Amino acid sequence: MNTDLKYIIYCRKSSEEENRQAQSLDTQKTTLLKYAHDNKLDFVCIYEESKSAKDDNNRMFFDDMLSKLKSGEANAILVQHLDRLSRNRIDTGELIKLFQEGKLKEIRTPYKANNTIYDLFSMDYEFINAIHYSARLSIRVKEGIDTKLRKGEFPGPPKLGYITVNKKHTPDPERTPFIKEIFDLYTGSRVSIEIIADTLFDKGFRTLSGKKVYTSAIARILQDTFYTGKFLYKGTVYQGIHKPIISEQQFKLANEIRVGKSKPRPKTDLDFLYRGFLKCNYCGCALTPTLKKGKYVYYFCTNGKNMCEQHKDYLGEGDLTPKVTSIFQNFIIDKDMATKSLEVYKKQTIQAYEDKVQVKKSLETHVEALNDKLDKLLDTYLEEKVDSSTYSKKQTKIKQEIKQIEDRISKLNKSPKTTLELLDKFKQQCFSLGEVYEHGDKEVKKDLLNSALWNFSMLNGEIASVQYKLPYKYMNEASKSGDFSIWLGNRDSNPNTWDQNPESYR
């Protein structure tokens, strides 16, 4: 065991998860602490987080953990299951990047230690499965929301002025009079929002947590059609089944007054092909799209740091597409080199599996010996040579040892055949990326961009650098002359040894 590893124990439970049987934070913590103690793991801290991992930048303790890994305070993670770490591509990318940089040396679960290039592939597939689980869960959540919308039920917590009674939004007897007074003061007396907030505070208007209702909340109430018995959800107005507090006429008047002071910004809902993928190579800021003359799409640097010389230049989407096409056309630099490196990887993976088979046989022999030991222990107990307490303790200890070994055996049963077949398909896909992107429609292009790229940087109207996602990054780098270590890890990657007998790898 590597004694230089310093672990962070990370526990996460999300209330959004469909599987209510998922282990609680206390169970995870207890299990992982025991595992760390039994295996003499050195850990620096424990994080317990009740947050969803579906979206990035949503978990404070996860971000703290990344900071500790980046600073060197820790270099390993102990977690109950990999899906406790991430269910989104951004956080997954952060973990894999730290793994590649050597700042994260191991992600360990009670079932497996992930610390090699092969484990990185396995983790990537598990993370992708977790992401797909979140996507499927989002679909089910959306279906539930759609059902509520059809019934006229608002799919969210009650608004200020309402409470939940029998799972229905009902006017709050304590705060409903204040909601009415907000509209009366604003439409009748034409009092400013600031004065309304101070006046109602003096009268005792408070949030559910007992805090003052500030001007921003007053402004939202005046604009929220919910108080008329309707509600707005993702741009669509629905007729609700909840009881209104004010009339539609008064709400309309309130918003006519409000619009006279500040006109709302027009809403656009355009699907820009390269939104989120472009960065400025000069300053690192994102390139944002804009629409000119109602039909021409351009991208320009946001100049968020106020130091960029590129932000005045606009890139037309039509001019940009051929440049992006060239990225995929030149994705495989040397097909023969990519094929050779992958074939050696496959051969050595098969050899590693055959080694595991031998380990499995040894473990199975050990289990047989322990079962014999159990039989002898039972004979001894039946002959009354040991008391029941001693028998029970020894029996439990032996069964636990058998269970641990059987768990190890079950991990060794997985054949690499499926993974290697997927890699073969992936290789062939990579060889045709340029043609697929060039001739695909907008949806095909968008899907390929999402699958293969994190982003690409622009400088003076040209692509300066490209950040590929895994495993596309491996295939791209493995196709470069001499760069065989991508697939092989720390194994011998000298291309000269291949040239001596290339047929042995085919």
Domain boundary among 261, 294, 311: 261
Amino acid identity, position 493: S
Domain boundary among 148, 166, 195: 148
Same domain, 372 and 301: no
- Residue 16 corresponds to which tokens in the numbers above? 């959004």
Same domain, 349 and 485: yes
Contact 218, 193 (CB under 8 A): yes
Same domain, 469 and 348: yes
Per-residue model confidence (pLDDT) at position 18:
45
Q: What is the pLDDT of residues 221-278, one digit of tens each?
A: 999 999 999 998 888 889 999 999 999 999 998 888 887 753 433 434 456 788 878 8
Same domain, 38 and 132: yes
Per-residue model confidence (pLDDT) at position 446:
81
Look at residue 393 and tell me if it is in a domain. Answer: yes
Q: What is the largest CA-CA distance in the chain?
A: 97
Asked if the model's pLDDT at residue 61 lies above 80, the reply is yes
Same domain, 489 and 349: yes
- Residue 47 CA to residue 305 CA, distance in Å, equals 34
Q: Is the pTM of this model over 0.75?
A: no
Q: Which domain holds residue 315?
A: 280-329
Report how many domains make up the chain. 4
Domain boundary among 94, 117, 148: 148
Same domain, 318 and 402: no
Residue scoring higher pLDDT (81 or 479): 81
Number of separate helices (H) and strands (E) present in the chain:
17, 15
Per-residue model confidence (pLDDT) at position 138:
58
Same domain, 158 and 117: no
Same domain, 460 and 385: yes
| CATH number of residue 144's parent domain | 3.40.50.1390
Look at residue 266 and tell me if it is in a domain. Answer: no
Q: How confident is the model at residue 334 (pLDDT cuts 50, 70, 90)?
A: low
- Residue 265 corresponds to which tokens in the numbers above? 């910004």
| CATH number of residue 179's parent domain | 3.90.1750.20
- Residue 319 CA to residue 493 CA, distance in Å, equals 41
Residue 79, SS3? strand
- Residue 112 CA to residue 79 CA, distance in Å, equals 10
Same domain, 98 and 133: yes
- Give the H or E element holding residue 259: helix 248-261
Look at residue 238 and tell me if it is in a domain. Answer: yes
Look at residue 273 and tell me if it is in a domain. Answer: no
Same domain, 60 and 166: no
Q: What is the pLDDT of residues 349-395, one digit of tens each?
A: 777 777 777 888 888 899 899 988 888 887 887 777 878 788 878 88
Same domain, 325 and 340: no
Contact 306, 414 (CB under 8 A): no
Average pLDDT over all residues of the chain = 78
- Residue 155 CA to residue 415 CA, distance in Å, equals 46
- Residue 288 CA to residue 272 CA, distance in Å, equals 9
Amino acid identity, position 102: G
Same domain, 438 and 377: yes
